Amino acid sequence: MQLTNRKVVVSNKEQSLAERMYLPAIAKGMMITASHLFKKSPTINYPDVKRPIATVYRGQHVLKRDDNGAERCTSCGMCAVACPAEAITMTSGERKKGEEHLYREEKYAATYEIDMLRCIFCGLCEEACPKEAIFLTDRLVDAQFERKDFIYGKDKLVEKMDARIDVSKRQTPEVLAFKKVEGLKHNELFDAKKLNKGHKH
Amino acid sequence: MTAFIIYKAIMCVGIFVLLLASAAYATLWERKFAAFLQDRKGPSRAGWGGLLQPVADGVKMFMKEEIIPNVSNRALFILGPSLFMVTAVITSAVVPWAKPVIIGGQTYDLQITDINIGVIYLLGVASIGVYGIMIGGWSSNNKFALLGAVRASSQMISYEIPMGIALIALIISSGGSLSLKTIVEGQDAGLANIVWQPLGFLIFFICALAETNRAPFDLPECETELVGGYHTEYSSMKLGLYLFAEYINMFISSAVIATLYFGGYNFPFAHEIYAKLGLAEGSAMVSLIGFGVLLAKIFGFICLFMWIRWTLPRFRYDQLMNLGWKTLLPLSLFNLAATVVIEFFRGNIHF
C-alpha cells in the first residue's frame, strides 16, 4: 500500500574514482572553511563594547529620590501587592523631626528588599507605584555566589546621591498620563485622594 | 676549536629558542586561526590582540597542581613527556636553516650538524618520538591512556612505511644523497623536488600529518572516545610538555617538508634577485633572506596543518588503518617504481 508519494529510491551506486580518492571533496570542504577567513566576525567584544539596550529595558530596580535628595517611597506596599512573584518585602518607619531631608513624606520604608531570584522583571511594581519611587533600569543584576546575596536591600536599591539614575526615558509624559487614567486596576486599588480624605497633613 | 664550540653552542641555543618561541606562538595562532575559520575572534584579552596568551598559558601550566597517580610507574611516568619533548627538539638538528655564511674566510653552516644520513636520522628520531607517548600512556595505568598509546604506536608504525618509501623515491630523484644540506643545495641549482615528486609529496604530507598526531589523524588523543588519550592522567607542566612538543613536532615537520620538497631556504630567481640587490653570495644578508623565506614556507605549512585540522573530521580507527596499509603503501610503492622509470630515462640512474 502506498502511503505517500514522497518515497525515494536510495541510490547505492558505486563511487567514481574521483569520489573514492576523496581529494576533490576534501579540497571543496577546505575551500568552504577558507571562505570563512574573509567573513566578518559577528562577535561583540562584550565588556569593552556593549550592545545598545532599549531605554525601556526592564533590569535592576532603583528607588528614586526626589530633587532634594529625599526618598520618594512611602512604604505603601502597592508594589508588593502588584508583584506577581512576591519578591518585594518592606517594613515602614515614621519620619522623625529633622529627617525631612531624608524622607519626602511622614511614612517611609525602613527596610525594602527585593529578592532578585524571585523577581521576574515584569515591571508591575513600577506601574503600581503611586509615588514614582520605583523604576526598573537598563542595568543588569550582577551574578553572585550565594543566594542570600541576591536579596537586594535599600543599600543597593536606593539611588546614590552622587550617581543619580536618569529615568526620564521611562517616565515620559505619556507614561505619566497613562498612569493617571481612571479605571486602571492600580488606580482603582489605590486612589490617594480618596484615602487621604479627612486626613490632614 | 674554541670558535667552533662557540659557533655550535650559539646555533643550538638559537634553534632551541626559535623552536620554543615558535611552538608557543603556534598555540596562539592555532586558536586564532581556528577562530577566523569559524567567524570568531579567538583569544584577545591577554596583551595586545592576545599576544601574551602563550605566556599566560605557560604560567597556568606551571602553577597547576602536579598529580602523579599512585598506581602509575613513577619513573616512566616522568620519562614519557620528557622523552617526547627531547625527541621533538632534536629532530631540528639536521635541518639547514639558511645559506652558509662566510665570516673572515671561514664558512659557517647555519645547521646544527650536517650528517650524511640526515633523512634516516629524521625517520629514526621521529619513530623514537612515539616511545614518549607509549611510555606515558602505559605508565599511567589507565585504560584510556593505554588505548591512546596503543593507537599512537600502531598509527606511527603504519604511516612510517609509506613515509619512508616516499622518501626513497625523493632521494632517487634528487640525486641520491641522504644529507639534507645536499638535498637543499640540489634544489638551488635545479627545480624544487615537488616538481618531480608530486605524488611523493602528497604521501609524505599525509604521513607527516599522521606522525605529528594532527587531525584528522589525532586518534591517540581523541577526546570523544578516550577522554584525553595517552595524556589522560597527566597534569601541570607534564601535560604542557606533551601539548608543547606536539607543536614543536608540527614546526619541525613543516620545516622538513619545506626543505625536502619546496627548496628549503631557496626561492625562484634567488640568484638574479641577489645580484640585483648587490648582495654577495655568502653574506649575512643573503642568509637572513633565505632564513626568512624558509620561515615563510614553514608558516605556510603550519597554516595548512591547522586549516586541515579545522576542516576535516577525525578518521575512524579502521579507516585509518585502511588508508595507511591499503592506499598509501601501494601508492608509495607505485610512486617509487614510477620514479625509478622516470629517473632512468632522465639519465640519473646508472647500472
Domain of A111: which CATH number?
A: 3.30.70.3270
Interface check for A41 against chain B (CB to CB < 8 A): the answer is yes
Q: Which residues pair with A136 in a beta bridge?
A: A61
Tens of pLDDT along A45-90? Answer: 888 888 888 888 888 999 998 888 899 899 999 899 999 999 999 9
Beta carbons within 10 angstroms of residue A58's beta carbon: 17
The torsion defined by the Cα of A122, A126, A129 and A130, in degrees rounded to 10, comes to: -130
Average pLDDT over residues A139-150: 90
Cα distance between residue B51 and residue B47, in whole Å: 5
Confidence band for B42, pLDDT divided at 50, 70 and 90: confident
Considering the domain boundaries, does residue A193 fall inside one?
no
pLDDT at A152: 93
Q: Is the pLDDT of residue A178 over 80?
A: no
Q: Nearest C-alpha of chain A: how many angstroms from B253?
A: 21
The CA-atom distances, in angstroms, between B350 and each of A44, B173, B177, B341, B343 are 66, 13, 15, 12, 10
Distance of CA A35 to the CA centre of its chain: 40
Average pLDDT over residues B72-87: 88
Q: What is chain B's percent helix, strand, coil content, to nearest 5?
A: 70, 5, 25
Name, of B97-106, B131-140, B183-192, B266-275, the range with top average pLDDT. Answer: B131-140
Average pLDDT over residues A98-118: 90
User: Where are the alpha helices (H) located in chain A, listed in sequence order?
Assistant: 17-21, 23-35, 78-82, 124-128, 154-157, 173-179, 185-189, 192-196
pLDDT at B162: 92
Closest-CA residue in chain A for B327? Answer: A21
Q: Is the pLDDT of residue B275 over 60?
A: yes
Cα distance between residue B135 and residue A155, in whole Å: 61
Q: Is the pLDDT of residue B214 over 70?
A: yes
Q: Report the half-sphere exposure of A156 (CA within 13 A, side-chain side).
A: 15
Considering the domain boundaries, does residue A39 fall inside one?
no
Cα distance between residue A107 and residue B330, in whole Å: 93
Contact B55, B132 (CB under 8 A): no
Interchain proximity B37–A33, CB inside 8 Å: yes
Tens of pLDDT along B164-186? Answer: 999 888 888 887 788 888 888 88
Reported ipTM: the value is: 0.73
* 3-class SS of residue A160: strand
Confidence band for B299, pLDDT divided at 50, 70 and 90: very high
Confidence band for A179, pLDDT divided at 50, 70 and 90: confident
CA-based R_g, chain A, Å: 29
Contacts of B307 in chain A (CB under 8 A): 30, 33-34
Confidence band for A201, pLDDT divided at 50, 70 and 90: very low
Cα distance between residue A176 and residue B174, in whole Å: 88
Interface check for A43 against chain B (CB to CB < 8 A): the answer is yes
Task: Select the residue from A21, A40, A41, A49 to test the B interface by mutation, using most B Cβ atoms within 10 A.
Answer: A41
Q: Is the pLDDT of residue B333 over 80?
A: yes
Q: Domain containing A72: what range?
A: 61-170
Interchain proximity A36–B36, CB inside 8 Å: yes
Could you tell me the maximum CA-CA distance found in chain A, to the nearest angstrom? 98
Considering the domain boundaries, does residue A200 fall inside one?
no
Of residues A26, A30, A41, nearest to B39 (C-beta)? A41
More confident residue, B3 or B260: B260
pLDDT at A118: 93
Of residues B36, B41, B312, nearest to A37 (C-beta)? B36
Considering the domain boundaries, does residue A74 fall inside one?
yes
Beta carbons within 10 angstroms of residue B22's beta carbon: 21
Contacts of B98 (CB under 8 A, 6+ apart): B110, B265, B287, B288, B290, B291, B294
How much of chain A, in percent, has pLDDT values that exceed 70?
A: 90
More confident residue, B281 or B212: B212
Number of domains in chain A: 1
Contacts of A185 (CB under 8 A, 6+ apart): none
Considering the domain boundaries, does residue A186 fall inside one?
no
Closest-CA residue in chain B for A48? Answer: B45
CA-nearest of B174, B245, B244 to B204 is B174
Considering the domain boundaries, does residue A2 fall inside one?
no
Report which residue type is found at B180. Answer: L
* B235 grid coordinates: 597534569
The torsion defined by the Cα of A67, A69, A74 and A78, in degrees rounded to 10, comes to: 60
Contacts of A43 in chain B (CB under 8 A): 39-41
Beta carbons within 10 angstroms of residue A53's beta carbon: 12
Average pLDDT over residues B291-297: 89
Considering the domain boundaries, does residue A177 fall inside one?
no
pLDDT at B72: 83
Considering the domain boundaries, does residue A189 fall inside one?
no
Contact B143, B226 (CB under 8 A): no
